[in-house]
Structure 1
């Protein structure tokens, strides 16, 4: 008999820690009134989420098009057999930090799947962090 699963809230600090260990996440943003979701590799440093991308990517173009772009960033990990795991959702604004003196070092910490030259570092400044862990019921 399959055990029931129950959602348990994760506090924001623990949620950011889980996000920092995730291999990749998904950024959601709006372009021309339509939602767009893109998978991205990231690194979490000092409570911010950093991605390293091409300046020609849809996400980079949206960041450059307007200051204060609001996004949602999500990552999860679910074990296929037990279907237990976690999900973290961050909402906030983004900023191009490519000109920051440490941008190159931050970019190199992001283990990107892309082979194209990456030349833009974007930071997500979290305003709200939430998470759920799916655990087996007792």
Structure 2
């Protein structure tokens, strides 16, 4: 099976749709001049990736410190034994929307794995969406 896997490029709309079917991904950004990657829960709403976090996190601080912070967001779902599945990478800009009217509705949609009070809603606006599906030839 291992040699039979074939990567197929995904249409950006389909890739974003797959991202919307799962709750967990990783955000990459620069914090204090260093590349940083953090795991996050998310939802996809109206083409944006929405995260609900705490204002004390490195991600929230970086977003508040740099309007339109450039970020990458990655998620995948690859089955352990067959190694089949998909991977999606989004490049975009992150904005703190906590004070936006939508935040009260969007924040609670994100089901966090962390049992801390969450007070910051961040929207990632995709500029580029790419994805691959690992499948077997038919």
What's the TM-score bracket when you normalise by the shorter of the two chains? over 0.9
> Corresponding residue for 1:133?
133
Instruction: Tell me the SS of whatever aligns to 1:17.
Output: helix
Once the two structures are superposed, residues 34-60 of structure 1 have per-residue CA deviations (whole angstroms, 9 ceiling, x without a partner) of: 110000000000100000000000100
* TM-score normalised by L of structure 2: 0.96
TM-score, normalised to structure 1, is 0.96
Q: Which residue of 1 aligns with 2:124?
A: 124
RMSD: 1.1
Contact 1:68 1:93 in 2 (8 A): yes
Distance 2:77 2:25 in 1: 10
| CA–CA distance in structure 2, aligned partners of residues 123 and 136 of structure 1 | 35
Q: What are the ranges of 5 or more consecutive residues in structure 1 without an aligned counterpart?
A: none
Aligned equivalents of 2:78, 2:2: Cα separation in 1 = 16
Question: Secondary structure at 1:59's aligned position in 2?
Answer: helix
Indicate if the aligned counterparts of 2:2 and 2:82 stay in contact, CA closer than 8 A. no
1:82 deviates by 0.5
Following TM superposition, the consecutive aligned residue runs of length 4 or more in structure 1 with deviations greater than 6 angstroms are none
Partner SS, residue 112 of structure 2? coil
Aligned to 1:68: 68
